[in-house]
Amino acid sequence: MTRVLITGGAGFIGSHTADALISAGHEVRLLDSLSPQVHGPHRQRPSYLNADAELMVGDITDAVVVERALRGVDKVLHLASSVGVGQSMYDIEPYVRTNELGTAVLLQALANRPVTRLVVASSMSVYGEGACRTADGATVAPEERSLAQLRRGDWELADSEDRPLEPIPTPETKQPTLSSIYALNKYAQERMCLITGKAYGIPTLALRFFNVFGPRQALSNPYTGVLAIFAARLLNERPPLVFEDGLQRRDFVHVHDVARACVLALDGDQADDVLNVGSGQSRTIVSVAEDLARVMGRSQMTPSVTGKYRAGDIRHCFADITKSERLLGFRPEVRFEDGLANLAGYLAGQIAEDRAEKANDELLRRGLVA
């Protein structure tokens, strides 16, 4: 029987992947710090964790803890990470410590105790702006929008001659454009793992997750996935806050599909590569806020479109999943509408503290909102 260590395993994606691995006959050990921002102040084992999953409470930056967690382990899924573009722009040292130093500590331990497979969670944030097509039909990597452009509320992407660009699915071949500390962290994580894996003969795969949603996401964390942030607002009878004009496009993929992609990556033989994990579809942020309000029975809560821009945000990015389908056998199964209904059922019994406005005030105070 294969034993898998999931770092950050008590969290949103980790807990669902643990369920999927245990159902497939694997033994699972979880290493998690139970961060108060995600799990609350009491650092207790989450009630949703699979009873058959072993939980070790400890920090990914603690070499002694990591070495102990690796004992008897055959494969590793590295999910441990501080998550959030906005927060990463002012909590710089904690983000670098957890995301980059934590990965280095894990890799140092793996250099001494190699496993048969390593899968690391990366992020669509490494792309910066997603791929676009010009009016002439050429595929281009858009330039970052200037601060002057954003301050005048000119949100859309354009070429050097100010002609509009059409967003298209972003493939793994697009060069990274790192627009935030978080994006830099995730790119560093994937490169560190791929480099070390190749050097020590550990087959390694990096999965670039797009916007993951579903049950168990931390509702009181104002820097988690956008749907969870919107849900916290709606549970408190407040309208979702939407930046820019709300027409920015993203790719929303259900956590059950992401967990399945993780299992495919751990059980497969594809290595030394980077793969997108998304739905392959795009939706505007404002439409997603409206859809969530509707399934939660709060259609009257019209999204509040702020007309403001956050440092590190990009305009459009959604996944080209052709490579994942071909090499990993991954094809999303949960329709967005069904995923929203599943999320709404979970939310019906939840209480959330809405911290979105406080988080936005902090960004504004630091000049990170234009």
Which residues, other chains included, contact 272 with Cβ-Cβ below 8 Å and sequence gap of 6+? 194, 197, 198, 203, 204, 205
**Residues annotated as part of the active site:** 182
Which residues, other chains included, contact 346 with Cβ-Cβ below 8 Å and sequence gap of 6+? 214, 215, 216
- Is residue 252 within a helix (H) or strand (E), and if so which, with residue range? strand 252-254
Q: What is the token pair recorded at 133? A: 């097509």
Please tell me the distance from the alpha carbon of residue 215 to that of residue 287, in angstroms, as a whole number: 20
Q: What is the token pair recorded at 215? A: 């049950």
Which residues, other chains included, contact 76 with Cβ-Cβ below 8 Å and sequence gap of 6+? 4, 5, 6, 7, 70, 106, 110, 115, 117, 118, 119
Please tell me the distance from the alpha carbon of residue 155 to that of residue 201, in angstroms, as a whole number: 46
Residue from 312, 13, 367 nearest 184 by CA: 312
Q: What is the token pair recorded at 4? A: 């898998």
Q: What is the token pair recorded at 159? A: 């070429």
HEC states along 210-243?
A: CEEECCCCCCCCCCCCHHHHHHHHHHCCCCCEEC
CA 20 to chain centre: 19
Residue from 233, 305, 228, 318 nearest 279 by CA: 318
Across 227-266, b (16+ Cβ under 10 Å) vs e yields bbbbbbbbbeebbbbbbbebebbbbbbbbbbbbbbbbbbb
Q: What is the token pair recorded at 41? A: 């102040």
Three-state SS for 320? coil
Please tell me the distance from the alpha carbon of residue 145 to that of residue 157, in angstroms, as a whole number: 7
